Structure 1
Amino acid sequence: MPETATAPARQAPAPGWQEEVYRRAGEVPDISAFPTVDALLADFHALAAEHPGLVRPRRVGTSRLGEPLEAFTIGEAGADGPAHLVVGGVHPNEPIGACTALHLARLLCDDEGLRRRLGATWHVVPCVDPDGARLNEGWFAGPFDRGHYARHFYRPAPAEQVEWSFPLAYEKAYFDQTTSETFALMRLIDDVRPELMVTLHNGEMGGVYYYLSREVPGLVPALHALPGHLGLRLARGEPEDPLAPLWADAVFGMADVRSHYDHRESLGLDPVGMVQGTSSADYASRHGTTSLVAELPYWSHPAADDTSESGRTYADVLREKADALGASGRELADLLAEAEPLLDQDTPFLRASRAFVPMFASLAEQERARSGAPDASRPARVAEVFDAEDLVRCFRLRYGGMLVRALGAPVAAGTAPALLRRLHARAVALYERWQEEAARLEGTELLPIARLVGVQVGSTLAAALALQAEQSAAGTDRPPSPEGSPS
């Protein structure tokens, strides 16, 4: 490779940049509902019209149903700073990111001083899965109770999720059936080679937590402290990903699918069925990209950050979780098996049900195997018990609701035979029982959307400023690309 001149060091952010992050995170105005896809894109195009030259829309792909996929570049044309990529809608049941993308874009347009201090060109994808988002719009305007949310919930089968359908070849696992949306995001990542990529996710119940692809100096403590400045709890219970390294309370490193493959294999379980594609963060790592995910709940509960001992062993908690998942999965699997011969329409709800219903049994098998590990005999924290029990509630409400929608589609269309109508009625009755059981949980708090958006906006700004400080200290414009990646 020919020698090139060393790029000038980037200007370091002013001391105390963390305090500015906390302040800006708290300045998000009240938000009463989540935007529909059409409303979100209209707002972005209005922003581009208001700031011609500064905001430049471009089409980057096409959804499976023919929807144009757009990215909005924010920054002075010809600027030579690093690229930052922000992607909303990677899971279509997670619309907090839509509000975050819009607020961040407006902030960057309205505050020239902030934009210049960050020294980056921003590429914002408001919604990378519009087809999936439209299937959730039934709950976007509320009421924001868990029952209404779950009854109108849609999440694609894993192989159809933008976040988890990047190509993978590892051991016996092979996946190359990338969705058109994923392919568009792959091209965009390869085009802009982002220094920072933020994919906008959220969970449902509990506390705030993060995933970070590497430890950036100063960033982990800033992320850890941010929710407290907004009056939000950290998640201190059962981690969503038990293999992710813990760097601080609620701040995790990213464990990729290869680790999950190896872990399941070490437990004597089939790893292939639970591993399909890899993630956007894994794909972007070829460019030396630092990736950040801030996971936020719609609802919180006092048990979410209760670290006191529960009086039960962790092994017992895992076994009870496995038993509940196994029993619930069998009920759904029986309904789906009886209905399959009568279902002749390939809907997103049916494809998702075919993927997620068997996952109950696979996860139950994994948790039962984990309960036999030597370290599982320790006392379980209250937060761990709550999270284990709530995952069962979450799975029942999410995937039971999607099976009801799958069986209900031909009923609503007037094409369902009598047996299918009876199976649908059985599914509705089971689902209503699960909803009633979940509704008995006391102490649940609906969180203000603006505070949740504040966490994502603040964590994004914190990551950008921490990277700026790191590169300024190193005297380079961006981290070198990993060996073997494009340069």
Structure 2
Amino acid sequence: MPPRYPTVGELTARAGALAAAHPGRAALRRIGRSRGGEPLTLLTVGRGERDVLVVAGPHANEPVGGATALRLAEHLLAAGPDDGPGAAAWHLLICLDPDGARRNERWLSGPMTLGHHFRRMFRPSFPEQPEWLHARSRAELLPETRALVDLQDELRPFVQFSLHGVDIGGSFVQLTRPLPGVADALARSAADRGIPLELSPFDAFFCTGPGTAVFDMPPPSRRDQFTGSLSPSHASTWYHPYRYGTTTAIVEAPMWAADEMADASPHPDPRGAVTGIGRLTERDAEFLAGLADRIRPRVPVHVAPLLRTVDDFRRSCPALVAEWDPESFAGFPGGLSGLNRAQVLALTIAARRLVLRTAGMLYQTAEGCGPAAHDVRDALDRFLTARCAVFERRCRPRWVPVADQVEHQFQVVRAAFGLLTEGARAPGAATAPA
């Protein structure tokens, strides 16, 4: 098991070594190239009546998925040529965004502290994230997105796993189709590794589900996220293969665990907490916007992607803060007074990590501007130190070893695959559309 996250180069080399060591049972192919010219590598293991698609690295700052994909490949190859009655061809896309993943390699070897992480992490601006179908036509899609969509159309998989690694929180699963039984498997694996289950993640705040930390994503006609959010689920590669009968499972494993994400007890002051979240976020956004404007004329081309992400936050912040106004929870089940500790912490983490990510990438932007921006860099350094300290006191995060993150995600994927296979074999099971 890996003591740390593998780099893009290590993922590619290991996938190639597995394919070379198992000719006839594993194959490697390039399904496209990234905007920066990186190969998009697909490792296929096994044969069967069904195709399984695993997408690792859909978000550049979430590196666990590549290690999980290789863990799956090694397991399948060790299991022998027939992996039981549910045998399938597993297609493992080891990194959907290699350009962005390479920008994150500066923090992968540690130290694993929030301060180091946020000063070195990179998350592309929303239009530059290949998971989302935000272009007007297929020809306008990012090359990484187009490669994934083409692969989905080619395979028409009966299940797609999108592997994510939330920075702070707990584990949870989102589903585009119901999957009874997966909540039990998720709970067992999380308990074995001391990982909390996230009762109400920001990404699924308005979703319901069949069990703890499992959420059925609603149809496009219904709200699934805060409307100010930059990631509408239905305009995503999660739903693109839905027409083929595909079930997509988004599997989240946390880097840092926050145990209060599993606390369903009533919050003592939800109004005060939510009001405070909004006010602090608004104040921090104004401070960061001012620093961004100061260095904007000096930003060199090679760090411009960092500033685009900062501008994303600046545009989205007013809408998010407006939605976190206490009055906006009038239509929430139980209203504002019904929010529990897990829900309030989910909102707190969502707001704080937006601020910290933005500050961290602005810090790197100032570094890239050289001595002329040292004053801005120093101001951001102080800001990050102070805000990370407050965040740690509020969330009490504890690092989850990479090996535990990988093994947890691996176990959940295998369990979900088994449940889907059993469901497909059950008498009277529905047939996927052609």
Q: TM-score, normalised by structure 2?
A: 0.91
Match of 2:314 in 1: 357
Q: CA deviation at 1:163?
A: 1.3
The 1:166–1:258 alpha-carbon spacing in structure 2 relative to 1, beyond 3 Å, is farther
Maintained 8 Å contact 2:299/2:368: no
CA distance in 2 between partners of 1:460 and 1:75 (Å):
16
| 1:338 paired residue among 290, 294, 297 | 294
| 1:65 paired residue among 1, 12, 36 | 36
Match of 1:468 in 2: 421
Q: Deviations over 1:73-113 (max 9, x none)?
A: 1114xx4x110000111011111111100110000011127
Maintained 8 Å contact 1:237/1:382: no
Match of 2:205 in 1: 242
Q: CA deviation at 1:308?
A: 1.9
- The root-mean-square deviation of aligned C-alpha atoms, in Å, is 2.7
Identical positions, percent: 29
Q: CA deviation at 1:473?
A: 1.1
Q: Deviations over 1:312-364 (max 9, x none)?
A: 13x44332222122111111112223333333526221221121233222211
Q: CA deviation at 1:433?
A: 2.6
Partner SS state of residue 121, structure 2: coil
Maintained 8 Å contact 1:318/1:371: no
Q: CA deviation at 1:391?
A: 2.7
CA distance in 2 between partners of 1:41 and 1:291 (Å):
25
The 1:456–1:68 alpha-carbon spacing in structure 2 relative to 1, beyond 3 Å, is same
CA distance in 1 between partners of 2:341 and 2:232 (Å):
30
Match of 1:187 in 2: 150
Partner SS state of residue 41, structure 1: helix
| 2:281 paired residue among 325, 344, 357 | 325
Maintained 8 Å contact 1:319/1:371: no
Match of 1:229 in 2: 192
The 1:289–1:389 alpha-carbon spacing in structure 2 relative to 1, beyond 3 Å, is same
The 1:398–1:302 alpha-carbon spacing in structure 2 relative to 1, beyond 3 Å, is same
Letter in 1 for 2:101: A
Q: Deviations over 1:189-210 (max 9, x none)?
A: 1111100000110102222111
| 1:428 paired residue among 373, 381, 397 | 381
Partner SS state of residue 278, structure 1: coil
Match of 1:391 in 2: 350
Match of 1:46 in 2: 17
Maintained 8 Å contact 2:64/2:405: yes
Match of 1:449 in 2: 402
CA distance in 1 between partners of 2:380 and 2:360 (Å):
9
CA distance in 2 between partners of 1:196 and 1:312 (Å):
42
CA distance in 2 between partners of 1:479 and 1:465 (Å):
17
Q: CA deviation at 1:148?
A: 1.1
Match of 2:341 in 1: 382
Letter in 2 for 1:130: P
Range moving further from structure 2, 343-352 or 187-196: 343-352
Q: Any gaps of 5 or more consecutive residues in structure 1? A: 1-28, 169-173, 265-270, 482-486
**2:15 equivalent to 1:32:** no
Maintained 8 Å contact 1:329/1:358: no
CA distance in 1 between partners of 2:68 and 2:363 (Å):
31
Maintained 8 Å contact 1:93/1:154: yes
Match of 1:405 in 2: 364
What is the number of residues matched between the two proteins? 431
More contact order relative to length (CA 8 Å, sep ≥ 6): 1
Q: Any gaps of 5 or more consecutive residues in structure 2? A: none
Partner SS state of residue 406, structure 2: helix
